[in-house]
Copies of this chain bind each other. A is one copy, B any other.
Amino acid sequence: MESVTIQFDKESSIPMYIQLSKHIGMLIKEGKYNENEKLPTIRKLAASINVNNVTVVNAYKNLERKGYIKSMVGSGYYVTYKEHDVITTSEEEDDSFLEYDNINLMSKGQLKVCKNTINFASANPDPSQFPVEDFKRAINEVLDRDKGLAFGYQESKGYKPLRSSFTQFLKKYMDVEVAPEDLQIVSGAQQGIDIISKALINPEDYVITENPTYTGALSVFKGRGANIIGVDVNIRGINLSDLERKIVTYNPKLIYVMTKFQNPTTISYSQDTLEKLLDLANKYNVYIVEDDSLSGLNYMQEDNKINLKALDKNNKVIYVKSFSKLLMPGLRIGFIAYPPEMQEQIIKAKHSTDISSSGLIQRAMQLYLDNGNLEKHVEFMKKIFKKKYDCMNTELKALRKYGVNFIAPRGGLHFWIKLPKGVNALELYSRCSQRDVLIVPCNIFYVNPLGAANNTIRLSFAAVDEEGIIKGLNILKKELIYLLKCDNEYSEVHEEATLSPMI
B220 contacts A352, C-beta separation under 8 Å = yes
A127 contacts B139, C-beta separation under 8 Å = no
Q: In the complex, how many angstroms separate the beta carbon of A395 from the nearest chain B beta carbon?
A: 26
Instruction: Give CA–CA (A150, B127) in the complex, Å.
Output: 9
B153 contacts A344, C-beta separation under 8 Å = no
B354 contacts A153, C-beta separation under 8 Å = no
B140 contacts A152, C-beta separation under 8 Å = no
Size of interface on A: residues with Cβ below 8 Å to B: 75
B132 contacts A151, C-beta separation under 8 Å = yes
B108 contacts A157, C-beta separation under 8 Å = yes
B107 contacts A329, C-beta separation under 8 Å = no
- Among A51-59, A91-99, A405-413, A417-425, the one that faces the other chain is A91-99
Among B202, B343, B351, which residue has its beta carbon within 8 angstroms of that of A100? B351
A434 within 8 A of B: no
- Contact flag A203-B188 (CB < 8 Å), given A107-B154, A108-B351, A132-B151: no
A190 contacts B355, C-beta separation under 8 Å = yes
Majority SS at the chain A contact face: helix
Residues of B within 8 A of A357 (CB): 187, 332
Interface residues of A in 321-349 (CB under 8 A from B): 324, 328-332, 340-341, 343-344, 347-349
Contact with B along A467-493 (1 / 0, CB 8 A): 000000000000000000000000000
B135 contacts A330, C-beta separation under 8 Å = no
A301 within 8 A of B: no
A104 within 8 A of B: yes
Instruction: Give CA–CA (A15, B163) in the complex, Å.
Output: 32
Contact with B along A138-179 (1 / 0, CB 8 A): 011001000111111111110000000000000000000000
Interface residues of A in 89-124 (CB under 8 A from B): 89, 92, 95-96, 99-100, 103-104, 106-109, 124
Residues of B within 8 A of A89 (CB): 181, 343
Q: In the complex, how many angstroms separate the beta carbon of A313 from the nearest chain B beta carbon?
A: 20
A70 within 8 A of B: no
- Among A33-41, A256-264, A358-366, A385-393, the one that faces the other chain is A358-366
A216 within 8 A of B: yes
Residues of B within 8 A of A139 (CB): 139, 143
- Contact flag A352-B148 (CB < 8 Å), given A157-B109, A343-B89: no
B136 contacts A140, C-beta separation under 8 Å = yes
Q: Which chain B residue shows the least CB distance to A360?
A: B330
Residues of B within 8 A of A187 (CB): 187, 354, 357-358
Q: A107-B351, A136-B140 are in contact. List 9 more A-B contacts (CB 8 A).
A: A106-B153, A107-B155, A107-B156, A124-B152, A132-B151, A188-B354, A191-B354, A332-B358, A353-B353
- The 21 sampled A-B contact pairs (Cβ below 8 Å) are A95-B344, A99-B348, A107-B153, A107-B156, A107-B351, A108-B155, A108-B347, A126-B148, A127-B147, A128-B148, A130-B151, A140-B140, A151-B328, A152-B328, A190-B353, A202-B225, A203-B225, A225-B225, A330-B360, A332-B354, A332-B356
